[in-house]
């Protein structure tokens, strides 16, 4: 595969919950966006799957005109990945933390070794610069390592898209903020603490808009938000729409620190503690790319109505 002046060659790493949305919006950009050819990196086993649900997803990607490229981010060496990445103009990583420690830096080093023109790393989350190193969630330090690698060079352009938490994760029973069965809401830190959330669909749409925006974003973090809401407002909205009372509890920073001390491998506790600290996990929606561009997003009120109201 060779670079071409006629098309921008885009490679999306992974086709999970977020990857599929980014792929879908990349191939449905409209007639005004520059021409692009979109590819997706999938493990060979994924491309050859016989699982009906996964097979349907692969068939859908191919129906969209997306060409699968075989590769394994986890098992491949940096050199192998660099050779695979080299033909592409833009790489968007949708390989998240579940891939394991060191994967984010390996992908970034491979992108830089390949001399890719533009890179969107897996930073679809909180404001890691503001949170800083040594937070309760130790995997966040690798995100800062990625930023250091990118800022230390000038060959590859990069764009970081800060999205906050996936909206659905705020309502996951395992995360513990919302317990629908018990009709409970737990505030992380305090009821006034805020959290920024965005749905994967909106992230896909906004990331695509950011990639094709003129003037081009270069070497910067672009903030987006589906909504920014306090835990008190969240509890109020649940009570209003579900028409029942919710018991309210606060998980303080000290309470969560003690919990982590007794269970140091519990990632969910670490996430709760970071959000309870209330630093770098929320930003005003009015200051975001989507607000300035007049792009509507799904707020928490709408998400509850669509997903929780019978």
pLDDT in tens, 139-194: 999 999 999 999 999 999 999 999 999 999 999 999 999 999 999 999 999 999 99
> What is d(CA 138, CA 26) in angstroms, rounded to the nearest whole number?
32
Task: Tell me, yes or no, whether 14 lies in a domain.
Answer: yes
Task: Tell me, yes or no, whether 235 lies in a domain.
Answer: no
Domain that holds residue 30: 8-163+200-226+283-297
Percent of the chain with pLDDT over 90: 87
Helix (H) or strand (E) segment spanning residue 10: strand 8-13
Task: Tell me, yes or no, whether 208 lies in a domain.
Answer: yes
CATH number for the domain that contains residue 91? 3.40.50.720
Task: Tell me, yes or no, whether 177 lies in a domain.
Answer: no
DSSP 262-274: T-TT-HHHHHHHH
Predicted TM-score of the model (pTM): 0.94
Q: How many domains does the chain have?
A: 1
Task: Tell me, yes or no, whether 13 lies in a domain.
Answer: yes
Whether 30 shows a pLDDT value over 70: the answer reads no
Whether 307 shows a pLDDT value over 90: the answer reads yes
Task: Tell me, yes or no, whether 56 lies in a domain.
Answer: yes
Residue 172 near residue 230 (C-beta atoms within 8 A): no
Mean pLDDT across the chain: 94
Residue written as token pair 């007794």: 262
pLDDT tens profile 210-261 = 999 999 999 999 999 999 999 999 999 999 999 999 999 999 999 999 999 9
- pLDDT attached to residue 217: 98
Whether 1 shows a pLDDT value over 60: the answer reads no
Task: Tell me, yes or no, whether 308 lies in a domain.
Answer: no
- pLDDT attached to residue 5: 58
Of 61-70, 73-82, 222-231, the poorest mean pLDDT is in 61-70
Nearest to 185 by CA among 219, 221, 231: 231
Of 22-31, 113-122, 183-192, the poorest mean pLDDT is in 22-31
Nearest to 27 by CA among 67, 59, 69, 65: 65
Position 302 confidence tier, pLDDT thresholds 50, 70, 90: very high
Phi first, then psi, for residue 183 (nearest 5°) are 55, 55
Task: Tell me, yes or no, whether 80 lies in a domain.
Answer: yes
Nearest to 296 by CA among 224, 222, 220, 208: 224
């Amino acid at each position: 595969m060779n670079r071409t002046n006629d098309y921008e060659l885009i490679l999306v790493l992974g086709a999970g919950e977020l990857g599929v949305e980014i792929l879908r919006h990349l191939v449905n950009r409209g007639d005004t966006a520059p021409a692009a050819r979109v590819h997706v990196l999938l493990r060979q086993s994924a491309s050859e799957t016989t699982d009906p649900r996964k097979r349907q997803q692969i068939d859908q990607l191919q129906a969209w005109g997306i060409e699968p490229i075989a590769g394994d981010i986890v098992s491949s060496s940096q050199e192998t990945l660099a050779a695979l990445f080299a033909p592409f103009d833009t790489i968007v990583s949708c390989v998240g933390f579940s891939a394991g420690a060191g994967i984010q830096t390996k992908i970034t080093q491979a992108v830089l070794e390949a001399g890719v023109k533009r890179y969107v790393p897996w930073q679809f989350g909180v404001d890691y610069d503001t949170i800083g190193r040594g937070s309760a969630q130790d995997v966040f330090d690798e995100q800062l390592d990625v930023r250091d690698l990118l800022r230390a060079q000038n060959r590859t352009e990069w764009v970081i898209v800060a999205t906050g938490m996936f909206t659905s994760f705020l309502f996951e029973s395992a995360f513990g903020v919302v317990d629908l069965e018990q009709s409970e809401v737990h505030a992380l830190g305090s009821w006034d603490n805020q959290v920024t959330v965005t749905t994967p669909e909106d992230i896909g749409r906004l990331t695509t808009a950011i990639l094709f925006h003129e003037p081009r974003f270069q070497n910067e973090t672009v903030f987006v938000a589906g909504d920014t809401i306090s835990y008190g407002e969240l509890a109020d909205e649940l009570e209003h729409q579900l028409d029942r009372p919710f018991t309210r509890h606060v998980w303080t920073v000290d309470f969560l620190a003690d919990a982590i001390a007794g269970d140091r491998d519990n990632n969910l506790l670490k996430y709760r503690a970071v959000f309870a600290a209330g630093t770098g996990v929320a930003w005003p929606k009015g200051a975001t790319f989507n607000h300035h561009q007049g792009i509507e997003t799904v707020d928490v009120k709408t998400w509850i109505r669509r997903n929780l109201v019978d």
